[in-house]
Chain A
Amino acid sequence: MTDERVPGLQAMFDAARKETADEAFVARVMAEVEKGQRRTVIGWIIAGLLLAPVAWWLSTPLIGMVELASQLLPDSLITVEEEWLAQLLAPVNSVAGVVGLAVLGAWLAYRKISS
C-alpha cells in the first residue's frame, strides 16, 4: 500500500475537522504554568532552608580541608636545588600540577567519549 488515502474516508475526515479557539483553555494552561513556577520557587526555598544547617554544620571541616589543600598543593614532588629550575618546573613539579593535569586529562577523555 502506498501513502495514497481512500478519497471518501479523507472527505469524512475533512468534513469532521473542527478547530475552535478557546481562550478559557489558554487561561487554564497558563494558570498551571504559573502554579508550576510557584511550586519550583517554593521548592528551592525549602531546599535552601534545609541545606542551610547542613552547610553550617559542614563549614568547619570544609574550611579545614581548604586550608590543608592550600598548604599541600604548592608542595614540590621532587626537591630541586637550583632556584631558577625549581621555579621553571613548579607548574608540573607540585601536587597542584599533578591535580591540574589529572583534571585536564579527565576532561579530554570525557570530551572524546561524549563526542
Chain B
Amino acid sequence: MQPDLYSGSAEALLVGLARKGDRDAFAELLRRRQAWIRALMLRCCSNPALADDLAQQTFLQAWRTIHQLRYSGRFAAWLKRLAINTWLQHARKNDPLDRADDLEVQTAASDSAGIAMDLDRALATLKDHARLCIVLSYHEGMTHDEIAEFTGMSLGTVKSHIRRGTQRLQDILAAYQDMPTGEKL
C-alpha cells in the first residue's frame, strides 16, 4: 500500500480505478472516508469497537461491490447507504442492548467528549430504527424524505420516529437547558 500515490487524485477517478480492482485507489478512498463512516457508526451504536467493526464491514462490502456502482460521482451516497444497511442488518441480528431506560443526565458536561457521552447514552434509550432516523437527521443533516428513501421506511414512520425520538432526547437531556452554545434544548 502506497499512501501518497493517489493522495491528490479526484474521488471520481479513484472510484473508477477501484472499480477496476485497483487496491491502492480503494485504500485512498478508505483513507478519505473512514473518519466520516466511523463517526456515523459510533453515533448509531455508541460503542467505539463495534462502530469500527461495522465501519470495517461497510468498507469490505464496498470493495466487494464497487464494480456495481454506476456513477463514480455518487460514491459518498452509495457508501452511506451501505453503512446504513450494515447497521440495519446488525440491528436485526442482535437483540437490543441493555437499554438505560431510567437514565438521567444529571450534569451538563461542558467539553465535547462529555457531551458526546451524554448524547450517546440518551440515544441508547431509543429503539434502533428511531435512533437511526435521529442520527441521520441530526448528525447527517438528511431530510425526512431522504431518510425514508435510504432506509426503506415509510415517510410517516420516519416522521414519527423523529418526533418521538426528539421528544425523548429533550426529556433526557433537559440538564443541557443552559448549554454553552446558547441554544435552548
Cβ of A34 to closest chain B Cβ, rounded Å: 7
Check if A15 is an interface residue, CB within 8 A of chain B: yes
* Interface assignment of A16: CB less than 8 Å from any CB of chain B: yes
Given the known inter-chain contacts A22-B34, A30-B30, please indicate yes or no for A6 contacting B170, CB distance below 8 A.
yes
Evaluate contact between A34 and B23: CB separation under 8 angstroms. yes
A/B interface sample: 20 pairs, CB < 8 A? A3-B143, A8-B185, A11-B183, A12-B176, A12-B179, A13-B119, A15-B115, A15-B181, A17-B139, A18-B39, A19-B38, A19-B39, A22-B38, A23-B3, A25-B55, A25-B56, A26-B30, A29-B34, A33-B63, A34-B23
Indicate which residue in A5, A17, A30, A32 contacts B39 across the interface (CB closer than 8 Å): A17
Contact A9 B170 (CB under 8 A): yes
Q: How far is the CB of B120 from chain A (nearest CB, A)?
A: 8
B: number of interface residues (CB 8 Å)? 45
Does B26 reach chain A (CB closer than 8 Å)? yes
The main secondary structure of chain B at its interface with chain A is helix
With CB as the reference atom, state the residue of chain B lying closest to A37. Answer: B23
**Counting CB contacts under 8 A, is A64 at the interface?**
no
Shortest Cβ distance from B17 into chain A, in angstroms? 14
CB distance from B65 to the nearest CB of A (A): 12
Q: Are B36 and A10 in contact (CB under 8 A)?
A: no
Q: Report Cα–Cα, A5/B183, bound state, in Å.
A: 12
For B1, what are the chain A residues with a Cβ–Cβ distance below 8 Å? Answer: 27, 30
In the assembled complex, A111 has its CB within 8 A of some CB on chain B: no
CB distance from B87 to the nearest CB of A (A): 17
